[in-house]
Amino acid sequence: MSVRKIFGLVFVLAFGLVLFSGNVGAQYFYSNWGVEGFIQSAVDILEPILRALFGGQSWDDYLLFEKLLLFVLIGVIAYLALDRIPIFNDQSKSLKHLKRLIAVIVALLGIRNLDYVWLNTIFIQYQVLFIAIAGIFPFVIYWFFVYSFCGCEPFEGALRKIMWIFFAIIYFGLWLTTDLEAHTSVYLWTALVALAYAFFLDAAVNRWLRLQKVRRDHGNATWDRIDTIDRHIETLQDRINRHPGLSPSVRRWEGLIRELEKQRDRLSKDASY
């Protein structure tokens, strides 16, 4: 049995003994049999340990879970950063354990001295990130739906505008019927942005997408041509190797190779743009 499995077994046994022995663990588990009682027992056991590790004051009690997540996040980032240091590139087990220990120490040093102001600042940034992603996601889904559905010439431009107007009408309806003041601005601005996109940006975006597709197709065709030239050059080079000397055929093949190399260089420059 490996050392990791032994440590895991010891941890499970120790956790079980603490949970089923002791007045607090036994009282919660037997009086609240089930998942809720088990979770409450685990919280009662782990909360003092986390408070001792992470430090803080009495107002930190309800932020222990958030601090635990930040601890894990900082530890993972620190571990990945250590892999970039040449001295830690060795893949031996002892060095891996040392990297894990250093990552844990760095995370603990960072999380123990964070006060409420800094924690709240960090959480607000994650809330803004979540709101931005969650808020833009329905718009992105609808955008892909519109452009995948409207693929029929010559009415695709008009059909896209109709679908965006319908999207705006829905949000205007939500804006007129909602009773929550916090939602009114969101609905109104979403409808206005949809209308502005439909009448001022939709055609330009569509032209840009078509241009990118043409460039991508042209680039693929160019690279196929370069690959064909490379195979032709290899064939000519094999002929030269089989016929050493300065015969007229060899000189003609060498001239063809130089010409093909020039064509390949020109195509490579075009494909790089």
Rg of the Cα atoms in the chain: 33
- pLDDT means per 10 residues, the chain with 273 residues, are 50 49 46 64 74 64 77 87 80 81 86 80 86 83 83 69 90 86 80 88 82 71 78 79 67 78 75 56
Q: Would 100 be classed as within a structural domain? A: yes
Q: Are 138 and 167 in contact (CB under 8 A)?
A: no
Q: What is the CB-side half-sphere exposure of residue 86 using CA atoms within 13 A?
A: 0
| Gap between the Cα atoms of 271 and 214, Å rounded | 12
Please tell me whether residues 247 and 263 are part of one structural domain: yes
Q: Are 236 and 257 in contact (CB under 8 A)?
A: yes
Q: Would 210 be classed as within a structural domain? A: no
Return the closest-CA partner of residue 193 out of 156, 159, 167, 173.
Answer: 167
How much is the pLDDT for 13?
47
Question: Using CA of residue 9, residue 5, residue 53, residue 31, what is the dihedral sign?
Answer: negative
Q: What one-character-per-residue DSSP string does 228-267 give?
A: HHHHHHHHHHHHHHHS-S--HHHHHHHHHHHHHHHHHHHH
Q: Are 253 and 240 in contact (CB under 8 A)?
A: yes
Q: Would 193 be classed as within a structural domain? A: yes
Please tell me whether residues 94 and 134 are part of one structural domain: no
Token pair of 12 as six digits: 């499970």
Q: Would 92 be classed as within a structural domain? A: yes
Please tell me whether residues 82 and 95 are part of one structural domain: yes
Please tell me whether residues 137 and 197 are part of one structural domain: yes
Is the pTM for the entire model greater than 0.85?
no
Number of domains within the chain: 4
Q: Would 206 be classed as within a structural domain? A: no
Q: Would 150 be classed as within a structural domain? A: yes
Distances (CA, A) of 31 to 18, 34, 44: 16, 9, 14
Q: Would 28 be classed as within a structural domain? A: yes
Q: Helix, strand, or coil here: 199?
A: helix
pLDDT tens readout for residues 62-79: 677 788 888 888 888 888
The count of residues in the chain is 273
Give the domain extent around 197. Answer: 130-201
Please tell me whether residues 15 and 31 are part of one structural domain: yes
Please tell me whether residues 225 and 265 are part of one structural domain: yes
